[in-house]
Amino acid sequence: MDLYKDLLELIQDYSIEEQNIINKAYETANLMHREQKRQSGEPYIIHPLNVSIILANMKADASTIAAGLLHDVLEDCDMTKEELTKEFNSEIAMLVDGVTKITNLDLSSKNAIALANTRKIITSVMEDVRIIIIKLADRLHNMKTLEFMKSEKQQEKSLETLEVFVPLANYIGAFLIKGELEELALKYLKPEEYESVSGQMQEILEKSKEILDSMIETITYTLEKNNINYTFKTRIKNIYRVYKKLSKNMKLNDIHDLLALKIVVDDIPTCYQVLGLVHSLYPPFNSEFKDYIVLPKTNLYQSLHTTVFAPNDMFVQVQIRTSKMDLVSQHGLATYWHLNKSDARFIMQERLKEKFQFFASLNEIDHNAKDNEEFIMRIRQDLFSNRIYVYTTKGDIIELPSGSTPIDFAYNIHTDIGNKMIGVVVNDQYVDFNYILKTKDVVKIIISDTAGKPDKSWIELAKTSIAKRRISEFLNKNEEKDDRQ
């Protein structure tokens, strides 16, 4: 089978032991799925092979690729987790079980089962981020073959993809998968709009080819003159992202990052040197400059973004980054498979806990939600809604749901900051506690050890369930203390 040969080629630099595990996983999956067909009529093994190839392209470890091959054997075949553990090991069995749907619970409705499964998918990131990565690869291949499903199923899967899988991909920085999922979902949810935007983008790309080629030639000459090692890439903006902007009544000409040139260099000082050289060639549109190297995004994305005035009255975004940053811009957390192969699984999980703000919020929501329905409601409200990005006075970026107030900001920093808050300064101006924060706001919380005390009205002013809960806990604790006196 050609797909199997493709997989073998991708893992040829893995150790013999790792290759043997993957080969055994393929043989087992092929045997278990031997009588099954996909809705396209193809042998079912086509699907797990494609999932494993997506993972192998990410340089996933052998256990993850093996789990990708075996990811449906517990759900669709006559095989148990215990048998899988005995045949392979507990790690692979845990990964496969993590991506397996819940089907045998005594739940009252399809909706209850769906809520339980959605919660399992989302919270699996706390157990092992590799489960989510396998699930994203699984969903990506399923979306690529969605044409063989009925129209209503296409719509259902596409909506779930946008509501659950795209936010998860964004949170762990899996930008390549995220972009593909967005475009595939739009293709089935809004086919006419998808075709319209796709056509317009292709037209722009064709018209701008000469200009981009000319810019690359000019910048190349300047970089080589300054003895700078580099590689060039071009990028046209994701169709789904363009659609979202156009749906807000923006015009195509008002989107300044439709076209981008990516310049990948050796180190951070060279990034800033190249920025100066690019600006010496093409005037910058200053309001569109972003330094994500000094201030990385909350999913660790780093790069310099500058939009310049290009020939023929065009705007072109130039992104400047190191090779490591470029890997992160494609794979996010999965980059550690490229950089720290043997220890990657442990490093990925530690980075997730230490660096990714959503992890703490997810953990708290999971711990305090009384049932699956409340869990999903809070996730939608706190994590999967539109986001804003505000700054502390130290320059740290804090990610919050749109509509958040300084109360949410304070409790996101620390419970004591919220409980002791007596005032708020935003962009050097005092504001009320009901002020709605906006992206790029710089927020300073004024606290007092003696005068600070949450008020009951704060619960209504807060947007996030975390802030609401911590305020309630403080008030309840103080009421109990008063009752004892």
Q: Which of 155, 156, 115 is nearest to 378 (CA)?
A: 115
Task: Please tell me the total number of residues recorded for the chain in this structure.
Answer: 485
Task: Return the residue matching tokens 């072109």.
Answer: 316
- Tell me, what amino acid is at 108? S
Contact 96, 83 (CB under 8 A): no
**What are the two backbone dihedrals, phi and then psi, of residue 433, each rounded to the nearest 5 degrees?**
-65, -20
The per-residue DSSP string of 149-183 comes to S-HHHHHHHHHHIIIIIHHHHHHTT-HHHHHHHHH
Neighbours of 457 (CB within 10 A): 12
For residue 234, list its beta bridge partners: 261
Contact 131, 52 (CB under 8 A): no
Q: Alpha carbon 281 to chain centroid distance?
A: 34
Q: How far apart are CA 417 and CA 111, in angstroms?
A: 39
- Tell me, what amino acid is at 351? R
Q: How far apart are CA 454 and CA 456, in angstroms?
A: 7
Contact 386, 401 (CB under 8 A): yes
Q: Which two tokens stand for residue 343?
A: 């220890």
For residue 390, list its beta bridge partners: 398
Neighbours of 391 (CB within 10 A): 17
- Sheet of 397-401: strand order equals 397-401, 387-392, 442-447, 421-426, 429-431
Q: How far apart are CA 444 and CA 429, in angstroms?
A: 10
Report the SS3 class of residue 318.
Answer: strand
Q: How far apart are CA 50 and CA 132, in angstroms?
A: 16
> How far is CA 143 from each of CA 181, 461, 483, rounded to the nearest angstrom?
7, 40, 58
Give me the active site residues, please.
Answer: 75-76
Task: Return the residue matching tokens 């749109």.
Answer: 402
Q: Which two tokens stand for residue 69?
A: 């091959």
Helical packing angle, 323-331 and 175-189, nearest 10°? 40
First to last CA, the chain: 78
Q: How far apart are CA 93 and CA 66, in angstroms?
A: 10
